[in-house]
């Protein structure tokens, strides 16, 4: 019976397939195969033994059921793998399985292969989401809306600015993922305390050759494990990605609030139900799920960082923890990337509400522009600020247009005409370099992929 929501509710087939038991077993067999091939090539074991181990290092021969059966007796996963592989080899080839290696040589190298596959899936979706955000930035670069700070109406901005901002942030996440992959996805075949002693004089060459066969860079130095600062960094990058997705989804949720309703996620009224008791509800469930799951991904960072300080050359406290956090973090980060693609690919815009909210304060959002123009015309900046602030407070209190209150101020006559005030109060002409900045992001993005 399924217990964990990842089993039946969260996750995508492509990422789950990477971390399912059969694939994890195959990756460990791949490492055992690479070890045998390297040792055979360097004359440490017979060529025939290396070839036989390579041929049988497959889940076609070494089944998960058999490995689990042995582990119930041995209580050791890698020893069970070694025995299951050895018993499938013909002749005396099985005697050479795992020669010179320690368990974590197999575990860490195979995990590097899993991470490499996982990062490829994440990168592809990050790229798709970034491209989608860039398309939204392009199509909305002149879509003027109200900008908010502290939850209050501030100044006009554009939806193009929002989407371009998020697109550039997603590209930075791609760069971070690229960077951590170089440090995370490394091969290791260095033995019990990292010295390669069991492999003799050819130890370092075996270590390097195994990594070459696996398509990994060999770690330059280790103890019994690849150092966990690399893994902690990977978890922090995924937490960072999750936080960006959280940020985007949170903004969509806020903008979909009933009293704002400028944009929101698509809702299918023919099929979708918003509430079991309130028939009218159309909730932002996709965005809310992104925000909720991102909290789980971020929570793994502390555990990953605590896995770095281990006793001496290594203890086992990281192992049980990593069996949980590595697959879950990859699966859940991939899942909310998928949700984000769905969310942003089906955004609904409500232009009439965007316009309504832009003018909701009856011109108060243009107070900064009034102050700036008065200063340009010769009034002192502090004096202009105080005057406009006084008018803004009155307009807000009496529910008047700011422009009407401003025009009652006699001291403004020598600086601004009614026509000047009318032009100043147009929010669509007060977006500064917004369009240019979006276009700069779009131009820079041509070199991103």
CATH at 423: 1.10.40.30
Task: Answer whether residue 15 is part of any domain.
Answer: no
Residues 282, 141: one domain? yes
Predicted confidence band at 377 (pLDDT cuts at 50, 70, 90)?
A: very high
The range of the structural domain enclosing residue 111 comes to: 101-355
Task: Answer whether residue 304 is part of any domain.
Answer: yes
Average pLDDT, stretch 225-240?
A: 97
Residues 347, 226: one domain? yes
Q: Determine the Cα–Cα distance for residues 358 and 190; give it in Å rounded to an integer.
A: 64
Assess contact for 252 and 264: CB atoms under 8 A.
yes
Residues 255, 378: one domain? no
**How many percent of the chain have pLDDT more than 90?**
91
Q: How many folded domains does the chain comprise?
A: 2
Give the domain-ending residue among 306, 327, 355: 355
Residues 209, 315: one domain? yes
CB atoms within 10 A of CB 152: 10
Residues 6 or more apart whose CB falls under 8 angstroms from that of 145 comprise: 156, 157, 158, 159, 262, 354, 357, 358
**How many percent of the chain have pLDDT more than 70?**
97
The string of pLDDT tens digits covering residues 402-412 is: 999 999 988 88
Assess contact for 184 and 230: CB atoms under 8 A.
yes
Pair of tokens at residue 250: 């949170």
- At residue 266, the pLDDT reads 78
Residues 276, 404: one domain? no
Residues 338, 392: one domain? no
Distance of alpha carbon 120 from its chain centroid, rounded? 13
CB atoms within 10 A of CB 172: 13
Task: Answer whether residue 276 is part of any domain.
Answer: yes
> Looking at 23-27, 126-130, 172-176, 386-390, which range is the least confident one?
386-390
Residues 240, 263: one domain? yes
Residues 296, 156: one domain? yes
The string of pLDDT tens digits covering residues 240-290 is: 999 999 999 999 999 999 999 999 987 667 666 665 567 676 788 899 999
In 3D, which of 87, 78, 135 has the Cα closest to residue 108? 78
The string of pLDDT tens digits covering residues 190-225 is: 999 999 999 999 999 999 999 999 999 999 999 999
Average pLDDT, stretch 109-137?
A: 98
- At residue 414, the pLDDT reads 87
Instruction: Calculate the alpha carbon distances from 416 to 98, 239, 271 in Å.
Output: 86, 52, 57
SS (H, E, C) the chain: CCCCHHHHCCCCHHHHHHHCHHHHHHHHHHHHHHHHHHHHHCCCCCHHHHHHHHHHCCCCCCCHHHHHHHHHHHCCHHHHHHHHHHCCCCCCHHHHCCCCCCHHHHHHHHHHHHHHHHHHHHHHHHHHHHHHHHHHHHHCCCCEEEEEECCEEEEEEEHHHHHHHHHHHHHHHHHHHHHHHHHHCEECCCCCCCCCHHHHHHHHHHHHHHHHHHCCEECCCCCCCCCCHHHHHHHHHHHHHHHHHHHHHHHHHHHCCCCCCCEEECCCCCCCCCCCCCCCCCCCHHHHHHHHHHHHHHHHHHHHHHCCCCCCCCCCHHHHHHHHHHHHHHHHHHHHHHHHHHHHHCEEECHHHHHHHHCCCCCHHHHHHHHHHHHHCCCCHHHHHHHHHHHHHHHHHHCCCHHHHHCCCHHHCCCCCHHHHHHHCCHHHCCCCHHHHHHHHHHHHHHCC
The string of pLDDT tens digits covering residues 68-93 is: 999 999 999 999 999 999 999 999 99
CATH number where 174 lies: 1.20.200.10
The string of pLDDT tens digits covering residues 336-369 is: 999 999 999 999 999 999 999 999 999 999 999 9
The string of pLDDT tens digits covering residues 33-74 is: 999 999 999 999 999 999 999 999 999 999 999 999 999 999
Residues 195, 271: one domain? yes
- At residue 283, the pLDDT reads 82
Predicted confidence band at 133 (pLDDT cuts at 50, 70, 90)?
A: very high
Point out the residues that are catalytic: 150, 275
- At residue 281, the pLDDT reads 63
Residues 210, 337: one domain? yes
- At residue 258, the pLDDT reads 92
Q: Determine the Cα–Cα distance for residues 223 and 90; give it in Å rounded to an integer.
A: 34
């Amino acid at each position: 019976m399924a217990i964990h929501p990842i089993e039946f509710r969260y996750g995508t087939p492509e990422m789950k397939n990477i971390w399912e038991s059969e694939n994890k077993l195959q990756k460990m067999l791949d490492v055992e195969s690479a070890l045998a091939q390297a040792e055979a090539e360097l004359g440490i074991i017979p060529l025939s033994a290396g070839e036989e181990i390579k041929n049988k290092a497959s889940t076609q021969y070494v089944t998960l059921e058999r490995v689990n059966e042995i582990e119930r007796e041995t209580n050791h996963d890698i020893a069970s793998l070694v025995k299951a592989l050895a018993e499938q080899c013909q002749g005396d080839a099985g005697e050479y399985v795992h020669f010179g290696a320690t368990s974590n040589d197999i575990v860490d190298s195979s995990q590097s292969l899993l991470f490499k596959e996982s990062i490829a899936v994440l990168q592809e979706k990050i790229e798709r989401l970034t491209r989608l955000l860039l398309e939204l930035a392009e199509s909305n670069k002149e879509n003027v809306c109200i900008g908010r700070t502290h939850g209050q109406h501030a100044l006009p901005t554009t939806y193009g600015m929002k989407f371009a901002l998020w697109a550039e942030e997603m590209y930075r996440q791609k760069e971070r993922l690229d960077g951590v992959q170089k440090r995370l996805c490394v091969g290791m075949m260095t033995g019990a305390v990292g010295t390669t002693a069991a492999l003799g004089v050819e130890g370092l060459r075996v270590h390097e050759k195994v990594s070459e066969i696996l398509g990994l860079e060999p770690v330059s130095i280790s103890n019994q494990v690849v150092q966990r600062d690399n893994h902690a960094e990977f978890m922090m990058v995924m937490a960072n990605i999750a936080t960006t997705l959280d940020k985007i989804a949170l903004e969509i949720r806020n903008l979909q609030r009933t009293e704002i309703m400028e944009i929101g996620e698509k809702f299918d009224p023919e099929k979708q139900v918003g509430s079991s008791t309130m028939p009218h509800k159309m909730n932002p469930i996709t965005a809310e799920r992104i925000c909720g799951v991102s909290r789980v991904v971020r929570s793994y960072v502390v555990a990953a960082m605590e896995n770095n300080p281990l006793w001496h050359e290594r203890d086992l406290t990281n192992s049980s923890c990593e069996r949980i956090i590595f697959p879950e973090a990859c699966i859940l980060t991939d899942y909310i990337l998928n949700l984000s693609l769905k969310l942003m690919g089906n955004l609904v815009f409500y232009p009439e509400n965007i316009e309504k909210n832009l003018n909701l304060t009856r011109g108060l959002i243009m107070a900064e522009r009034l102050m700036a123009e008065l200063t340009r015309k010769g009034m002192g900046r502090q004096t202009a600020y105080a005057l406009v602030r006084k008018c803004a407070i009155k307009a807000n209190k009496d529910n008047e247009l700011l422009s009407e209150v401003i025009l009652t101020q006699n001291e403004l006559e020598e600086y601004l005409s009614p026509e000047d005030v009318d032009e100043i109060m147009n929010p669509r002409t007060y977006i500064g370099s917004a369009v240019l900045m979006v276009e700069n992001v779009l131009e820079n993005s041509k070199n991103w992929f």
